Chains A and B, each alone.
Chain A
């Protein structure tokens, strides 16, 4: 019995080691298209992405790639931290050691990455922080979008669209995550003082199959639902499929957040979703800001990205910019 127990303990240990590797499947070092252009690049930029498991982050890297491809003087090196703060820390240290001209980092967490970013600054390497923050001021420029503002814009849009009255289902991301909390509280601010009522809310953990399951429950409970607000587009798509299976998709409007070209925007263009609110990746802005810094121009300490709303009417034309507050 003891031998078996020890055996199982060993197996569990091995499971932890291997299991931790489960998401580490994307290539960790790839070179951007600029390097393939033939001409020697003038500057090398190191990009550290916290993980490539989410389509939104895959898109961020593609946006950087596409933007950098227009500037042959830039060579971008990519590393994927595979959702591991310590791995991301060593990537920054590797970039410092390699003497890159600039670092772009989209951190997994603020605290563990503050010191390495500050170390890069101390060596005189400019650092652009994308989407998630680091603590303190020891970075060159922060670029990110504001989930709360996007949630509020979605809420205000819904108030206008429904004429201030109606029953709403809210399919939340993960309420233990900041984007989930902000997309929720912003939306609630946006619909406050209107006659809109959230009759059913559930956590779908950003996952489409879970959204479909929760929507089935909402459909079972409420004979009348006017609109579904999902914290991401896959969630809205899952809700649409649930309503379609119940034959009720024509009487319900579906809106989501993120607006990725191959997800939210595609769903809107196909007429499944009524609207998708963009959560911009900032990839293009990061490359533009990097060029300014490298050319010695001044850049603001913080850039808040504007976002667009994509509706059936405007998706082909590239969406409509949400007004800045």
Chain B
């Protein structure tokens, strides 16, 4: 597992983060232990269960990567679930119904996602609208676009002809490959995409100059501005990247559902935020890292999986999830 590193100039931050990582790992280990105890007749002991957990959490994890970058700038992005829905519908429309090849449909969907993210970023950087409000507006707007371009229906391989009858197209090979598994059926393709997103954002945050700017803006915006950090451009980068990653997640979602659902991704923003926070990235900004988010994603993923293989009912499941999120976050704050 990749050790989180801040890339921040302060030396103390690195040490604090390392202890954050240890705590995040401890929470993950605790949930994992629960799985070993409540293993549902040995289901938890099979690799396929873990592979399926990683597949399920991948889409949320990809959203959480963008969310991490945004939260490090002391912002928040509430639009990620809606943008996932919009890009899933847009991508399905292009490839399933209009027959665009993936070489065109994928960049088009990625561009659409990035453009929406940049629009939120523009409102925040240029017009000084609170991130909470700007991305809330984008959340509502993008859901509207998803419903508008789809007419409220799922965009699938069943194409309605003018006379009302249906024509069934095959599922494109690109959808099949994204929905398949690699390395001897041992890992889902979407999980590899999630890991690629982790590496991409990890390199940005830890190694590149814009990454340091992200931490600087989140730590103290005024100080960053005075020391010559391009604050506006840095915020644009954060929200644009988040929008781009939403589109990556949207494409993965569409491939896994083999259709574009205009209500896909509802409340996913909350799961993405929970993943980031459980990992230990600070909502106040300036601190955190992508490794923490990876651990947070696995913690949430295992929690859901354990509740699912034990067929725990909906009501106790919601209550347990709430309790464990609070527990994990409190645990993060324990001072030694």
Contacts and interface: CB of A to CB of B under 8 A. Distances in A.
B330 interface: no
Interface stretch (B11-19, B45-53, B191-199, B240-248): B45-53
Contact of B314 (A175, A220, A263): A175
A217 B309 contact: yes
24 contacts: A11-B133, A14-B132, A21-B140, A22-B139, A22-B140, A23-B143, A53-B263, A58-B153, A202-B311, A212-B56, A213-B52, A213-B56, A213-B304, A216-B52, A217-B52, A217-B311, A220-B52, A221-B309, A234-B261, A241-B257, A262-B158, A262-B160, A263-B154, A270-B157
Interface in A192-224: 200-203, 205, 208-209, 212-214, 216-217, 220-221
A40 interface: no
Contacts of A22: 82, 139-140, 143
A25 B148 contact: yes
A209 B257 contact: yes
B132 A11 contact: yes
B144 interface: yes
Nearest to A202: B311
A262 B143 contact: no
Instruction: Name the residue in B49, B157, B179, B308 with the highest tally of chain A Cβ atoms < 10 Å from its Cβ.
Output: B308
Nearest to B310: A217
Given A220-B52, A262-B158, A270-B168, A25 B147 contact: yes
Interface of A: 11, 14-15, 18-19, 21-23, 25-26, 52-53, 55, 58, 174-176, 200-203, 205, 208-209, 212-214, 216-217, 220-221, 234, 238, 241, 245-246, 261-263, 265-266, 269-270
A234 B262 CA distance: 13
B181 A245 contact: yes
Interface string B284-317: 0000000000000000000011001101011000
Given A18-B140, A58-B153, A266-B158, A209 B253 contact: yes
A170 to B, nearest CB: 10
Given A21-B140, A176-B314, 7 more contacts: A209-B253, A209-B256, A209-B257, A216-B308, A217-B40, A220-B46, A262-B158
B49 to A, nearest CB: 5
A25 B143 contact: yes
Given A202-B308, A217-B308, A245 B179 contact: yes
Interface of B: 40-41, 43, 46, 48-49, 52, 55-56, 78, 82, 130, 132-133, 136-137, 139-140, 143-144, 147-148, 151-154, 156-158, 160, 166, 168, 179-181, 253, 256-258, 261, 263-264, 304-305, 308-309, 311, 313-314
A246 B48 contact: yes
B311 A266 contact: no
Contacts of B311: 200-202, 217
A270 B130 contact: no
Contacts of B258: 241
A212 B160 CA distance: 26
Nearest to B76: A11
A315 B77 CA distance: 45
Nearest to A176: B314
A217 B310 CA distance: 8
A263 B259 CA distance: 11
A262 B147 contact: no
Given A22-B139, A202-B311, A216-B52, A262 B181 contact: no
Contacts of A216: 52, 55-56, 308
Nearest to A25: B144
A220 B168 contact: no
A221 B180 CA distance: 21
Nearest to B284: A4
B10 to A, nearest CB: 23
Contacts of A245: 179-181
B40 to A, nearest CB: 6
B166 A269 contact: yes
A44 to B, nearest CB: 24
A265 B164 CA distance: 13
Nearest to B166: A266
Contacts of A25: 140, 143-144, 147-148
Contacts of B143: 22-23, 25
B130 A11 contact: yes
A220 B49 contact: yes
